[in-house]
Structure 1
């Protein structure tokens, strides 16, 4: 029961914030375009809401505390009707008036089904709560491509403030911007005298954003969610000055799927970032070991069948025109990240030959990486949450079959043998790490959690640093807080902003990095730059006296090198 409560809590906390944000009301005053929003005396009637002017349009936002927020601004044509499953299209010049005081709908969410067998039958009820909570609070819609801008109230079009751009996580299956309070980052930046602007955007997820298959490859519409993100970065270049931002000082920042997205934006165009960003921050994500988009053909075929398009002469066109409830049903019954196959996700970025032209790790080896300063880190126990569905695996033979069936179908027997030697059947070595014999939900749970977390999260981070730290300024962190959480430990998502906002430390480092391309500033202990000869990381831990320390970043060196090489040979 505690496991389910942990998983549920991750969603509840975000949803509660979204509900609170959607019901707030402005209580500060408005400005004209070149008048500071605070520190100014107003005589007579005072304006009541901030305004920004884009093209021939006026955008009216909302004041909350020391921030001005412009929420739910459309940045692309609605991907509906004949634009479904097509590349995002920019909007024509804005005209008229836009009321942008609340978040726009999130993109359609894939229904989550929690793993069964964890307790006495609460799975169905809890699953319903988890999957409906996000949608009930934020709503979702195919018409979802909107962007949010949060500024200090003192910002004017001539302020030239650095900009941090947030990509939300959620396994490329769920998520949206409404559950992240960018205003907290902006408010904190004002407090420490290093003001920044925060931007976030919704992008297509699940099958609508990451449909695989040969049909998709031939149509050149792979990775639509990443294409949405890329278009939003171009929107920022065009319009952020109107909000007081400097388009030459943009840092991209993400967690989990958002961090993977950040890494992939560093790799497209052979590492040419096209002037869209100058820094990158990755929390629990890196150059994920994925292969060709046709590796996901089975998921395309299943979606086509479940959407009743299998008898169509043009299945892709059928998916574009099928009534959305039918398509949504087909998405909902596809495997999610709590499915038995774990982190072998159905819907995720893959090499499409257009946006991603080579496997991410190949791009790193070839030096096709944007040469920008970066921060990258992991939660210690990344794989635990995603291994709750495989509790029935009872021994090494079963585990070998499991890995061959899902994550490593093309691996040779001797390669699987080596993998199982690097990850022995020993609870002391499993994930959650450093918890002894505790947390073993099933005979192979901690072993599977260690393997999955290392292949998808820890391995790519270490691989990225190994090949890039000599070429570009890099900083690493490890998040070890929450080790006493039953069964999942310092679980994936524990390093997301809503957690760090209350602790404060990482938020300050991110603000300094956004401002100066170096996370060190007036506050906090000195964070050493990554050095391959003596690799160090900032470690966030539960110790009340030493909550943040600098420690060695050399854990599981041989295992992580092995899984990185294995992923090069056998990408997902």
Structure 2
């Protein structure tokens, strides 16, 4: 029997009766019961690894024992433990009028936009340390002989939060059927924050770093083993993600010397590329904070102690560490880091060395990626304070010459800041648009462009940028807004489906999307003119600023 009591649901006579009105799939010697609605059948909450609880906490995922009995796959499994902010990220320094305007416009739009693709609940739902489950949405007519292409989704959330239940792949599968290019949609939960991305000497020595990435890899192995039973083709898997999910996708391309092990044949990334992050020593501060917060400081073996403390104590310690909307913002405590196993070098150094899976890929971004991540620094109001923030948190080893150069390339002039192309509007503080421009290039535009510059011409690549929603106060074309055009319909959804089927986003009535090449760095560009078709622009904006910032972070990863 499986050791998965809280995510595996054995429901006896109820499940057997339910099978009469639902599709069932056989895995090993088990009958897996899903639910069918219209043309789609869902199989939810199937455990893909043993529960990472007790002594399995802070260890590599272990494959399941063979399935047996009856598996109720009708509800999502619990989310992995989340690291939530202590409140709304806009600080009191913004003033009540600005806060009210922001909440009544930007946040309302964001919530309504996400509601289009949220599957069951606008929050993460129930949480549990026993959370490693996988979900599938399948054309109801699929059979083991269908051998349909497979799209595997990896959610974002800054490696700190997120869950599969927030993303409904049904509309994508429906659209793929309409296009005559049916696909299977798969998503998995993976460990987050200190549960999945704790770093430090102790973690590296035990070879248990980047556990969330190992979870994802285990889920991909599960797909290889079982997807035929659901009608999928294990040789036609595309991995897809947004934000932390897109970064994860890129790191699956870099691990194992660039050998994908046959786990995927294509990659689609939205707002994420190999990051300029450092090794485990940079994460020691977060490790020490968790050790202190759990009362393990006096233990001879702090890692063993962390495995023994209660779930509540561990989670409380996580809650007391910085969040992505804390003052330090995108300088996060829990990003993937060099661990000597999954990542043998800094991600961008691996890209430079050519340790990249040679599969076709798409990587794109939003124009104003860092506006929402720059709301926590509104109390930084002068150029001197901005410079000190950059020197302290981002570039402590930069020379005075290079630091001054960064200051000039990311000027105080609010007309040059993000949200771009909005003139003097959206200046929440004298430095807000400057912060948004700098951070957006450091974490999103710079890494995307560097990845493409290193790989275009060596494998098929495409890129895009969305400039929609410029009218949205303060946020503009904000981070994750492009998901509305993949999950909820639009050009990107069709391009995604074509790519999953043929490893080329072009097809059907969608405008032609040329490859990104060294001589023609084309960006498919989506603008607010929704009646118009996407256009093409060159990926040359802020070239001097992004090039310098990329080189500085390549030498001095955060």
- Judge same fold: TM > 0.5, yes or no: yes
Residue matched to 2:38: 65
Residue matched to 1:519: 505
Query: Deviation of residue 158 (structure 1)?
Result: 0.6
CA distance in 2 between partners of 1:258 and 1:408 (Å): 26
* CA offset digits 1:460-503 (Å, max 9, x no partner): 0000110101100011110111111111111101012x453334
Residue matched to 2:186: 199
CA distance in 2 between partners of 1:135 and 1:322 (Å): 31
Query: Deviation of residue 540 (structure 1)?
Result: 1.3
CA distance in 2 between partners of 1:233 and 1:363 (Å): 22
CA distance in 1 between partners of 2:95 and 2:486 (Å): 31
1:108 aligns with 2:81: yes
Name the CA shift for 1:366/1:326 in 2 (closer, same or farther; >3 Å): same
Which of 213, 218, 221 matches 1:234?
A: 221
Aligned to 2:77, the other structure's residue is in SS state: coil
1:174 aligns with 2:158: no
Which of 96, 112, 122 matches 1:120?
A: 96
Which of 461, 465, 471 matches 1:484?
A: 471
The answer to whether the 8 Å contact 2:19/2:33 transfers is no
Which of 228, 243, 262 matches 2:230?
A: 243
Residue matched to 2:267: 280
Query: Deviation of residue 316 (structure 1)?
Result: 1.4
1:219 aligns with 2:195: no
* CA offset digits 1:336-385 (Å, max 9, x no partner): 11010110001110000111001111111111100000011001001111
The alignment yields a C-alpha RMSD, in angstroms, of 2.0
1:153 aligns with 2:129: no
Residue matched to 1:457: 444
CA distance in 2 between partners of 1:95 and 1:533 (Å): 56
* Structure 1 length-normalised TM: 0.88
1:431 aligns with 2:407: no
1:551 aligns with 2:537: yes
CA distance in 1 between partners of 2:358 and 2:124 (Å): 40
Residue matched to 1:93: 66
Residue matched to 2:296: 309
Query: Deviation of residue 568 (structure 1)?
Result: 0.8
Aligned to 1:148, the other structure's residue is in SS state: strand
1:399 aligns with 2:386: yes
Aligned to 1:109, the other structure's residue is in SS state: coil
Query: Deviation of residue 134 (structure 1)?
Result: 6.8
Query: Any unmatched runs of 5+ in structure 2?
Result: 1-14, 112-119
CA distance in 1 between partners of 2:523 and 2:341 (Å): 35
The answer to whether the 8 Å contact 1:108/1:142 transfers is yes
Query: Deviation of residue 414 (structure 1)?
Result: 2.3
CA distance in 1 between partners of 2:535 and 2:39 (Å): 32
Query: Deviation of residue 422 (structure 1)?
Result: 1.5
The answer to whether the 8 Å contact 1:210/1:222 transfers is yes
Aligned to 1:89, the other structure's residue is in SS state: coil
Which of 503, 508, 528 matches 1:542?
A: 528
Name the CA shift for 1:475/1:243 in 2 (closer, same or farther; >3 Å): same
How many residues matched? 522
Query: Any unmatched runs of 5+ in structure 1?
Result: 1-29, 31-44
* CA offset digits 1:307-360 (Å, max 9, x no partner): 222122221111111111111111112111101011000111000011100111
The answer to whether the 8 Å contact 1:508/1:523 transfers is no
* Structure 2 length-normalised TM: 0.91
Query: Deviation of residue 531 (structure 1)?
Result: 2.0
